[in-house]
Chain A
Amino acid sequence: MNKIILLSISLLTFSCFAEAKQKIHTDSVTGAKTWSTQEHGVYFSLTQILPEQARAFYVNRGFSLKQIEPYVSSCVYMTVLRNDKAAGSIHFISNNWTLLVNGKPKNLIAVSEWLKRLESESAKKSALIAFRWAQFPPEQEYEPGGDWNQGMLSMGLPANEKFDIVARWDIAGKHVETTLKGVRCAK
């Protein structure tokens, strides 16, 4: 009997850890979903930012509704990448990450491209500075032990679109990638 119990617990433990690669969490207040994974000693997550939340944030930073609308309705996520215990420092360029929409690859819109569009709309300088630094870093390096950033990342997709995202970085010169599957843009 004890052997059966032990075997069951072992199998349950194994299956939970096998599936623990990707997790989905729903915020009980806002309903926003977070997709996260922990691989290679690195934590990576995307949390839906609802369009009204992003709109309020940027209007408070000095953008007009017209200026910021294309961005806030482009499927924006609060993105976290953190080097907990990788084998060394990690380096990434977020423009090297790929979206897969219905299996077809798609590039992210670069922060510099968003800035160009907003400048052409004559946005205020202080608003542009806030925009630039509120974005997830286009390029960054994190040391093990907890270097991390949190920032906004636009997928350039319509509301409710479903996609996979392949994030890539180098750990001590070795190329590594991780995928979050079935991520959904906020409605």
Chain B
Amino acid sequence: MLNKLISSVAFIFISSLFFSEHIYADGLPPLTHKLTAIKKTVKAPALRLKNLDGDVVDLKDFRGKVVLVNFWATWCPPCRREMGSLERLHQATKDKNVEVLAVNIGEDMDTVFSFLGTVDPSPYFQMLFDPDASSMKTWNVNGLPTTYIIHKDGTIAYRAVGGREFDHPNIIKSILELTK
């Protein structure tokens, strides 16, 4: 009995040491998969920006769809880390009334285009450009990346500050539930 107890304590001790070192070995926390539900009814601010083709995209044209709006930059490490998962989310939800819009902050099209070539899988969702970062103020963004999930009626359903694994089943489930 005592031997079993000793073994258990030793196992827990060694496991906890490994686990704590494993998580933060590179100095970066892992990307998570929790969205914060916005309890108050808050209408999403306006968003009207050019995409990679130079066409103007207006958030209000997506009313009736669930829209994910992600604010990012190519030099932002967690933004880069989560970009592939955004595309996997896009692939899993694009036929289910969900739109993904990524808003690049302050960079030119060439810089963004070359970065997108390095992302696996390559993003096919809408890439918008905010050259003077004015949307950061209107959307109350204090740090990159920040992501909002907009309900079909144009109100904010969820917010995520910092990098996420957007293709995690919990996030996909939360987003698809909004389409019902």
A residues within 8 A CB of B45? none
A147 & B160 in contact (Cβ 8 Å cutoff): yes
A residues within 8 A CB of B160? 147
A126 at the interface (CB under 8 A from B): yes
Residue of A nearest to B10 (CB): A9
Pick from A6, A60, A148: contact of B9, CB under 8 Å: A6
A133 & B161 in contact (Cβ 8 Å cutoff): no
A2 & B2 in contact (Cβ 8 Å cutoff): yes
A13 at the interface (CB under 8 A from B): yes
CA distance A26 to B58 in the complex (A): 47
CA distance A3 to B2 in the complex (A): 8
B136 at the interface (CB under 8 A from A): yes
Task: Give the distance to chain B from A105, nearest Cβ to Cβ, in Å.
Answer: 26
A residues within 8 A CB of B2? 2-3, 6
Sorting the interface of chain A by its residue count into under 10, 10 to 19, 20 to 34 or 35 or more gives 35 or more
CA distance A2 to B142 in the complex (A): 55
B-contacting residues, A9-27, CB 8 Å: 9-10, 12-13, 16, 20, 23, 25, 27
B133 at the interface (CB under 8 A from A): yes
Query: Which of A96-104, A137-145, A161-169, A179-187 forms part of the interface with chain B?
Result: A137-145
Known A-B contacts A16-B17, A140-B161, A145-B34; A130 and B75 likewise in contact (beta carbons under 8 Å): yes
A residues within 8 A CB of B161? 140-143, 147-149
CA distance A61 to B107 in the complex (A): 9
Which secondary structure dominates chain A's binding surface?
mixed
Task: Give the distance to chain A from B32, nearest Cβ to Cβ, in Å.
Answer: 3
A residues within 8 A CB of B107? 126, 130
Residue of B nearest to A6 (CB): B6
A80 & B29 in contact (Cβ 8 Å cutoff): yes
Task: Give the distance to chain B from A182, nearest Cβ to Cβ, in Å.
Answer: 17
Known A-B contacts A9-B13, A80-B27; A129 and B76 likewise in contact (beta carbons under 8 Å): no
A36 & B24 in contact (Cβ 8 Å cutoff): yes
A residues within 8 A CB of B114? none
A133 & B133 in contact (Cβ 8 Å cutoff): yes
CA distance A149 to B29 in the complex (A): 10
A106 at the interface (CB under 8 A from B): no
B residues within 8 A CB of A45? 24, 27
Known A-B contacts A82-B162, A130-B106; A6 and B5 likewise in contact (beta carbons under 8 Å): yes
What are 27 residue pairs bridging A and B, where the CB atoms are less than 8 Å apart in the complex?
A2-B2, A2-B3, A9-B10, A20-B20, A25-B25, A45-B24, A57-B75, A80-B28, A126-B107, A129-B132, A130-B106, A132-B133, A133-B106, A140-B142, A140-B161, A141-B142, A142-B161, A145-B32, A145-B34, A146-B29, A146-B34, A146-B162, A147-B160, A149-B142, A149-B143, A149-B161, A150-B28
- Other A-B pairs, 14, CB within 8 Å; known A61-B75, A133-B73: A6-B6, A16-B17, A23-B20, A126-B107, A126-B108, A129-B132, A130-B73, A132-B133, A133-B143, A136-B143, A143-B36, A145-B36, A149-B161, A150-B77
Closest 7 CB pairs of A and B: A146-B32, A129-B106, A145-B34, A148-B162, A149-B143, A137-B143, A147-B161
